[in-house]
């Protein structure tokens, strides 16, 4: 890796309609697909991926979808539970993807979909 590459974080989140394996897998795949496309990421750029889920999502692991649909078998990934703050968003999957890139912080496109758009309206494109 040359000196112009930096490690950057890309954030994203999406909500699902129900706590089911299918809903978690589909939402995770949709979110990751858009993040990868919008930021022109290839697998070799990815350092690691952290997923969190609200405590009402227990049917499956988002990392399982990443391994299945993107073949990310060699990328370190972990899933964790969000802090259950009263009144916070429900049925939500969040992701932090660490990548090596030449993009500046301002060039990174963070992706918030569905009900998760309200989490960071400052980062949501119109």
Q: pTM higher than 0.85 for the full model? A: yes
Q: What share of the chain has pLDDT > 90, as a percent?
A: 89
For 5-24, how does the pLDDT look when each residue is reduced to its tens digit (9 = 90+)? 999 999 999 999 999 999 99
Number of domains within the chain: 1
For 99-108, how does the pLDDT look when each residue is reduced to its tens digit (9 = 90+)? 999 999 999 9
**Domain span including residue 70:** 6-123
Q: Would you give the DSSP letter of residue 4?
A: T
Let me know if residue 34 belongs to a domain: yes
- Give the H/E segment covering residue 72: none
- What is the C-alpha to C-alpha distance for residues 91 and 75, in angstroms, rounded to an integer? 25
CATH code where residue 20 lies = 3.30.1330.40
Let me know if residue 103 belongs to a domain: yes
Comparing CA positions, the residue from 111, 75, 108 lying closest to residue 94 is 111
């Amino acid at each position: 890796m040359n000196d112009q590459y930096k490690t950057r974080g890309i954030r994203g989140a999406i909500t699902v309609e129900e706590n089911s394996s299918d809903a978690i897998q589909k939402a995770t795949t949709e979110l990751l697909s858009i993040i990868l496309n919008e930021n022109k990421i290839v697998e070799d750029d990815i350092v690691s991926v952290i997923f969190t889920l609200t405590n009402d999502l227990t049917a499956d692991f988002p990392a399982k979808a990443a391994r299945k649909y993107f073949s990310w078998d060699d990328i370190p990934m972990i899933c964790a539970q969000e802090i259950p703050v009263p009144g916070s968003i429900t049925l939500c999957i969040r992701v932090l993807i660490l990548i090596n890139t030449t993009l500046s912080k301002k060039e990174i496109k963070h992706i918030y979909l569905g009900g998760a758009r309200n989490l960071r309206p400052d980062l949501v494109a119109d």
